[in-house]
Amino acid sequence: MELTQVVEQRVSIRSYKDQEVPVEILKEIARMGSLAPSVNNYQPWKFVAVTNKEILHKMAHEVHDRIEALPDSETESSKNIKSQVEWFATFFEDAPSVIALAIEDYESVLEQGVDLTHKDINKMRNYPDIQSAGACIQNMLLAATDKGLGACWMSAPLIASKTLSEILKLDDKHKLIAIVAVGYPKGDIKPKAKKNINDMFTLMK
C-alpha cells in the first residue's frame, strides 16, 4: 500500500478473527517499530510478543482485578463506567496476539556534563523516552495495517504494569510502555471521525 493509504486506513481494531498471526509477521511488525526515531538513536526497545492464550488470560485477569479494586461510589453509573473501562483494558485477551513494548533508559549527553539527574533531564526534555516509544508504536500500527492486520494501541492495561512486567519476564532495566493487540480484523471496520486539518493548522511566516 502507499503510505498515504496506510495512514488513512489505519483504525484501532478491537475484534479479531480466530486466526493466528504468523510469528514472522509479528517479528516484522516489531522490526518496523524498531526503525522509528529514538532519542540519541538509543533504540531502547524490547518487544515481547505473546500468542499463548493462558498468558493472555492471566494478563487480562490481573488488569481486571486492578480495575475492580479501584475506589468507586458504588452507584449503578460508576459500575457501568468501570465495566466499560474494563472492556477497553482487557479485550486483548481475545486477540490472537499482542506485542508488548518496553524500553530502557537512554543515556543523556547532558547528564555527563551537568549536575542534573537523568529523571530531571528527561522531564526537562518533555519525556523523549515516551515520545520515542510513541513513534515506535505508530510504526507498528502502520505496519500491521499494511499487512491487512488490525491492531490497537493500549495503555489502559498498564494499570497492572508491575504484574504484567513480571508475567512478561521484563528485567528491572525495562519499563513497560504499552501493549499492541494484533489480529485479523473481524466485522465492519468503522473509521473514527477526525477533525478537519483547517481547524488545526496555522502557518507563521
Quick check: 89 binds ligand FMN (CB under 6 A)? yes
Helix (H), strand (E), coil (C) string for the chain: CCHHHHHHHCCECCCECCCCCCHHHHHHHHHHHHCCCCHHHCCCEEEEEECCHHHHHHHHHHHHHHHHCCCCCCCHHHHHHHHHHHHHHHHHHHCCEEEEEEEECCCCHHHHHCCCCHHHHHHHCCCHHHHHHHHHHHHHHHHHHHCCCEEEEECHHHHHHHHHHHHCCCCCCEEEEEEEEEECECCCCCCCCCCCHHHCCCCCC
Of 9-17, 32-40, 45-53, 167-175, the segment contacting ligand FMN by CB under 6 A is 9-17
Q: Which residue is nearest to ligand FMN (CB)?
A: 156
Q: Which stretch binds ligand FMN (CB under 6 A): 10-18, 53-61, 125-133, 142-150?
A: 10-18
Compute the least distance from the CB of residue 78 to ligand FMN, in Å. 19
Nearer to ligand FMN, 108 or 158 (CB): 158
Q: Site for ligand FMN (CB under 6 A): which residue of 54, 75, 119, 192? A: 192
**Interface with ligand FMN includes 169 (CB under 6 A)?**
no
Residue 154 near ligand FMN by CB under 6 A: yes
- In the shown chain, the binding pattern of residues 113 to 152 toward ligand FMN, with x for contact by CB under 6 A and - for none, equals ---------------------------------------x
| Nearest-approach distance from CB 10 to ligand FMN, in angstroms | 7
- Smaller CB separation from ligand FMN, 49 or 156: 156
Q: Are 145 and 182 in contact (CB under 8 A)?
A: no
Query: Shortest distance, CB of residue 156 to ligand FMN, whole angstroms?
Result: 3
